[in-house]
Amino acid sequence: MFSSRQWFIFILSSTSLLLSGMVYSLQAPFYPAEAEKHHLSPSQYGFVFGTFELASFIVSPLCGRFMNVLGPKFMALSGLLMTGSSTVIFGFLDKLQEGVGFLVYCLLCRVIEAIGQSATTTAIMSVIAHEFHDKTGTVISWTETFYGVGMMIGPSVGGALFELGGYVLPFIVVGVCLLLNFPFAMAVLPSDDELRKSATGRNQDITLTRVLCIPLIWVGLVTNAAGAISAGFLQATLEPHLRIFSLSWSMVGFIFLLNGMGYAASNPIWGKLCDMGFPAVTSMCLGILMTIFSFSLIGPLPFLPIEPNLAMVVIGLIITGFSIGAEFVPSYIHMNEVLLAAGLPDSVATHGIVSGLWLSSLTLGGFVGPTLGGFLKDHFGFRTGTVFIIGGNLVLLLCLLPVALYMNRKRKHKTKEESPLLHRKKVKIYNRGE
């Protein structure tokens, strides 16, 4: 069971990431029409959407790198303030008349939102790793689930509020809710001095270069990015593929929701399994295998004598949600384990580096996936385009299998005295079977 302090931190983390997910997707139903009123082309307002991932990809590692200097609490509070304020300001940009000015201010607000969200997410994940030593996977999986739910309901909430109060209301409501989390975070989060003093292990200068020179860290980064690319590919290409079934818009929206539902349902399961000692790399391999199978159904593969089938698409999307959950959370657990096993201290600096790199690889995949999906759809069609995604995941799986076997063998023969993760409950549970 959680202590009172842990419950408050969990509630703060969940609500902050839920609202952050809504900020990311809030304007999807109505912003394109508003942008066209300001004489923006689809490529221009499309870049406004893509700027969020691009900015987050650049900023997230820097947030992790300077976590120990600025402090997780300061970074989380600053992030909430930046994201909430820029979201509210975004709601008043429709008052601008000039198209170029509208575009510039929209880009600026999205960049500030991305910086704020990167700071908040990185800080919160670091605090979770500090506060929930034996339940890190479970808690992070639940908070990530709330972020996914926020992304799913964002367009629906944004559309409903837009109909109710016009362009400004969705941004005002969500932005103010984020700002209301500021005093809650001020009261709940442990002080930066407390977090710094609680570090175990020798004090070291932890740099991005040093971390990236550890080969096994790339296993988590590449797998995390690959999962995001697979999900992003579907965002850009699934709706045109579904047109052959002559579905209503509400049904198309529901089918898109299935992917998120599978992800939200599976995330806590994978986190709990990792906390119970199930190897993170093995979880990632299972996730990649499920991605290959699910994309084979959604297409289906062009060389199979099977025509596209709506039931197969539905089943494939649900499996894709489960597969992404098996890649995202275990990759974070794996990266933490690798750095601790390499002798880095169990500190805010280490957790900050992991959180920043993890989020950066996730947003890079979120940027590449739709871009690559659009290119493959234009030049090869959806079914042939899935072959590229399947092929890439198959190559990644073949590379990860030897790593999984090596790490499982190493884990099996490691004694309790040798383990750098003795304080973690998941390792103790695993060692009981030796």
Task: Name the residue range of residue 128's domain.
Answer: 1-198
Give the pair of three-digit tokens for residue 429. 């549970």
Shared-domain flag, residues 217 and 283: yes
Shared-domain flag, residues 54 and 120: yes
% of residues, the chain, pLDDT over 90? 32
With bands split at pLDDT 50, 70 and 90, how would you rate the model's confidence at 203?
very low
Q: Is the pLDDT of residue 414 over 90?
A: no
Shared-domain flag, residues 220 and 249: yes
Q: Is the pLDDT of residue 427 over 50?
A: no
Shared-domain flag, residues 133 and 185: yes
**Residue ranges in 276-431 assigned as alpha helix (H):** 280-298, 310-341, 348-380, 382-412, 425-431
Given 161, 177, 198, the domain boundary residue is 198
- Judged by average pLDDT, the poorest of 142-151, 190-199, 271-280, 425-434 is 425-434
CB 89 within 8 A of CB 100: no
Tell me what the mean pLDDT of segment 29-47 comes to: 80
Encode pLDDT of 204-231 as tens digits: 567 788 888 899 999 999 999 999 899 8
Q: Is the pLDDT of residue 34 over 80?
A: yes
Shared-domain flag, residues 143 and 255: no
Encode pLDDT of 81-90 as tens digits: 999 999 999 9
Q: Is the pLDDT of residue 411 over 80?
A: no
Shared-domain flag, residues 193 and 231: no
Q: How many domains does the chain have?
A: 2
Shared-domain flag, residues 228 and 322: yes
Backbone angles phi, psi at 346, to 5 degrees: -80, 80
Tell me what the mean pLDDT of segment 96-100 comes to: 78
In this prediction, residue 430 carries a pLDDT of 36
Cβ-count burial 254-273 (b if 16+ within 10 Å, e if not): ebbbbbbbbbbebbbbbbbb
Shared-domain flag, residues 136 and 215: no
Tell me what the mean pLDDT of segment 181-193 comes to: 88
What DSSP string runs through 246-289? ---HHHHHHHHHHHHHHHHHHHHHHHHHHHTT--HHHHHHHHHH
Q: Is the pLDDT of residue 349 over 80?
A: no
Which CATH number does the domain housing residue 367 bear? 1.20.1250.20
In this prediction, residue 272 carries a pLDDT of 86
Which 3 state secondary structure label does DSSP give 303? coil
In this prediction, residue 205 carries a pLDDT of 60
Shared-domain flag, residues 23 and 151: yes
With bands split at pLDDT 50, 70 and 90, how would you rate the model's confidence at 147?
confident
In this prediction, residue 283 carries a pLDDT of 93
Shared-domain flag, residues 210 and 264: yes
Given 143, 166, 198, the domain boundary residue is 198
Tell me what the mean pLDDT of segment 375-383 comes to: 86
> How many whole angstroms separate alpha carbon 183 and alpha carbon 175?
14
Give the pair of three-digit tokens for residue 266. 């599976």
Count Cβ atoms below 10 Å from residue 186 Cβ, excluding itself: 12
CB 91 within 8 A of CB 173: no
In this prediction, residue 177 carries a pLDDT of 94
CB 69 within 8 A of CB 349: no
Look up tokens 């949600």; give the residue: 321
Q: Is the pLDDT of residue 30 over 50?
A: yes
